[in-house]
A and B are shown apart, each in its own frame.
Chain A
Amino acid sequence: MSFVGLSDSEEQRMLRAIGVGSFEELLAAVPKQARLQKPLAIDGPLSEIELRRRFGGNARANAAESAVSFLGGGIYDHYIPSALNALAMRSEFATAYTPYQPEVAQGTLTAIFEFQSLIAELTGCDVANASLYDGATAAVEAALMARSQTGRARVVAAGAIHPHVLQVLTTYLDGRDLTLVAERGGQVAAEDLEAALGPDTACVLYQHPNFFGLLESPQTLHKLAHDAGALVIAHCDPIALALLEPPGATGADIVVGEGQCLGNSPSFGGPLLGYFACRASLVRRMPGRLAAETVDRHGRRGFVLTLQTREQHIRREKATSNICTNQGLLALRATIYMGLLGREGMREVAELCVQKTHHAALLAAAIPGYRLPYDGPFFREFVLECPADAAAIARAGIERGILPGVDLGRFRPEWRRRLLVAVTEQRSASEIERWADVLRAAGGKG
């Protein structure tokens, strides 16, 4: 089937109005040998009933259909308030295009302005943009911006940064001009960073809380980078920022990160929400769309996209980025999320995460064979050294309806006995107890 509403007689009328005898005449410019030679070999057409059956089967083939999740590593299972789904799934937001005609897009534009305001507040930065694809490409855009701002080439990535963020950065930087500073005891050691900095360093990128869930010491890192004349890019979890001192307030020039946790589903890792905030002096080098306040001809407040001369549709090869389509609907969801939780709710979610994560860590560390390899303070996840392969524990957990953590062996063979465990405000004390039971049972076998 299709979503075409057109009768044969209407088609005939239209062809007559066009002035052709048949539809084929309209295709005069398409060479015959360029036309499809045989029917496409694809499934369908399927009715809605058949589609539900097929996708229902796919959904049931994922453990997420029923299991309790302690998975993190960049994607978190936070609660999504019902009002959020009801609002964000409205056609008025979901089926609107990019707000290029502001007089009929004030809903979208106002929400973008509010998103920018909330992200700027959360990060301690002057300005934020309307979104980028994800946390990884936001880090790439930040690194490219720092290079063009400083005229320097080298990007220094310090400490336990998500391996996928580093991989994406490596792809875009094309293998050149990227220096990795290894973590020490799970965190960045100041002397290691200092040794890696030089007059060619454009920026220092760090993650806070880092890939292992550990907090870094932003002020120390900011000072070292600035002393070397480099810019600072902080890659931060926005839920954690509800509690932590915002890096923009202590000198980070650019703050980026992954905003999935702000009211968006895990959705197998996409769509995600890259956010990008920076100091005011960098605004003209920012990638992506920006909404700004203005007035209409009657003096009434309204919002428009601004500084579009940075963007590809105006500036073409001289644009600050090639991004066009962004993650608008996820930014809207994040805006509604931050509105619904508000000043108190955001802090409470963050505090619940800290309490429950530490409770789980304490429980696990008391089970024979398990230990916490790092001493530093952690926020919503932690690394757990296991007496057996993490992959085996993960398999055993699924049988009990628990996804016990991310098997870090997938990133590095020497991490194969490590689980990365995340505990959000959704996990109850009894779920945490069931999780600990999985560890006890699996540890005994190991």
Chain B
Amino acid sequence: MSLERRLLIEQGGPGHRGPALPACDVPVRPLAELLRGARLRTALEFPQVSEPEVVRHFIELSVLNHHIDRGFYPLGSCTMKHNPKINDELASLPGIALAHPLAGDDASQGALRIIHDLSRTLAEITGFAAVTTQPAAGAQGEAVGLMMIRAWHRARGEGERRRKVLVPDSAHGTNPASVHLVGYETVTVASGSEATVDLHALRAALDDSVAAIMLTVPNTLGLFEPEILEVTRLAHEAGAQAYLDGANLNALVGLARPGDLGFDLMHINVHKTFSTPHGGGGPGAGPVAVAAHLEPFLPVPVVTEHGDRLRWDHDRPRSVGRVHSFYGNFGILARALAYILTHGESGLSRVSRTAILNANYLMRRLMASYDLPHEAHCMHEFVLSGRGLRKHGVKTLDVAKRLLDFGVHAPTVYFPLIVEEALMIEPTETETLDRLDHFAAAMERIAREARESPKILQDAPTTTPNSRLDEARAARELKLRWSVPGREASVAAARSAERQTIGRP
């Protein structure tokens, strides 16, 4: 019988200590004298555990996770591909991991070189003039891109008039959320019957109050916009800017460049296309690449070349300002550069080619078992619908949970919103044919089970560390932190005091 899983606070006790610290080797003076007047805390109710207890705890936790090194991860729009191991080692070199952001430019030439090399390389890959590495993730890149668009319109005297951003109904949720964050208004544009941009709807929505259109290419159904050149032309004709959500860049890398498609700027999710480890939710990085006319508005500072030396340039009067504490997620950016250099030009075009091949292979095989709402060839991902299973009392969620029993992760589900019971599948280029076949076989078996014994799906998963978890209960009870053993009473008292102060101010 195994031990019940316990939280760190439920283990150890007085006398359990982690790694020792050195004795103080300078003359020790009373804290009350050094921190005179300061109020110190009376208690810190942290765990008291030994190093072996901490190691066991986190190893026990780790094996409960699915992860890309273990198995297939077909999350649409997330690009969960192999994470090359050398990239982590390079980012951990002492001269890189210990580099301090305020050491001064002379003491940081290596770090500046990495940022400079990556910026130039990303500009070349995307077909733009310049790059900022500051945004820490794609969503921040979106917000920063919109700030630059706002600054550009203001510089042209159109800041007051242009307040709307057109966003297709198939867009990621971050798009409208970022639009709102910068004070713009989202106008949702319905997709056409082929799930791509409807040019009539676009023309009708474009007027002189539109600041920008935000598009994902290929879109979230994995479809390339066949009229993309016309779409960006129409946007420009109306005086708007064209923003590309780069979440799906894996389909384009080495094949087509967003700058050549008529876009003015884009963000790049390096934790997707350029394979930096996702870390269970982050960190990623969201550099933004811009065409020449937007370059003056890039966040400060910007790396500039002076002979063979690199410097941070802070003197950029038209900049939107700073958006990160320092220069962005440098350790992640270094990994992305290593990834790109490993591939070179020839390797990168193999990335998009194989990603597209893998997705089409799975799509054609699985359309026999699931509804395929749009039959055109896809790019790097595709969307199935589980609506045909409804008559058996089975939902897309049940398919997702059953997949977990086969050692593969579920696809993205219930997104995009324009497909009911959506299953959004992105295999990436690093999956081999036998892995694709294993996934397809699992999906086919699940479709069969849905018809013949739906209860298997409704009860799934059964082989995972936990069975299905009660999300409604979690939201109702809202237990967001552990209880310190022996301190429940005081927490309850604090909660009750809290309730009395709600509403103030």
Contact = CB atoms under 8 A, between A and B. Distances in A.
Interface stretch (A153-161, A188-196, A313-321, A366-374): A313-321
A91 B44 contact: no
B146 to A, nearest CB: 10
B108 interface: yes
B404 A103 contact: yes
Given A60-B95, A82-B19, A330-B283, 4 more contacts: A64-B95, A133-B140, A315-B173, A316-B186
A81 B415 CA distance: 41
Interface centre among B51, B110, B325, B473 (most CB of A within 10 A): B325
B98 A266 contact: yes
Given A92-B67, A296-B467, A325-B282, A17 B34 contact: no
A99 interface: yes
Nearest to B60: A107
Given A44-B347, A94-B83, A26 B357 contact: yes
A26 B362 CA distance: 13
A90 B61 CA distance: 11
Interface in B443-475: 461, 464-471, 473-475
A292 B474 contact: yes
Interface stretch (B204-212, B234-242, B336-344): B336-344
Interface in B42-70: 42, 44-49, 51, 54-55, 57-59, 61-70
Contact of A432 (B7, B26, B498): B26
A245 B39 contact: yes
A261 interface: no
Contacts of A171: 147, 299, 320-323
B86 A244 contact: no
A407 interface: yes
Given A30-B255, A297-B468, A343 B44 contact: yes
A120 B67 CA distance: 28
B315 interface: no
A269 B327 contact: yes
A306 B480 CA distance: 9
Classify the secondary structure of B's interface with A.
Answer: loop
State which size class the interface on B falls in: 35 or more
A111 B165 CA distance: 38
Contacts of B25: 428-429
B292 interface: no
A227 to B, nearest CB: 9
Interface residues of A, number: 215
A210 to B, nearest CB: 13
B21 A352 contact: yes
Contacts of B73: 97
B1 to A, nearest CB: 14
A95 B224 CA distance: 29
A42 B325 CA distance: 30
B97 A87 contact: no
Given A96-B280, A342-B16, A42 B226 contact: no
Interface in A332-351: 332, 336, 338-349, 351
B161 interface: no
A43 interface: yes
Given A29-B224, A51-B90, A343-B46, A302 B98 contact: no
A339 B8 contact: yes
A261 to B, nearest CB: 13
B260 A93 contact: no
Interface string A272-298: 100000011101000001111111111
B372 to A, nearest CB: 13
Interface string A393-427: 01100100001001100100000000000000100
B304 interface: no
B99 interface: yes
Contacts of A245: 39-42
Smallest CB-CB A-B distances: 8 pairs:
A269-B326, A59-B95, A44-B344, A269-B101, A329-B279, A328-B281, A61-B110, A171-B321
A74 B326 CA distance: 10
Nearest to A301: B5
A292 B505 contact: no
B481 interface: yes
Interface string B246-270: 0000000011110011000000010
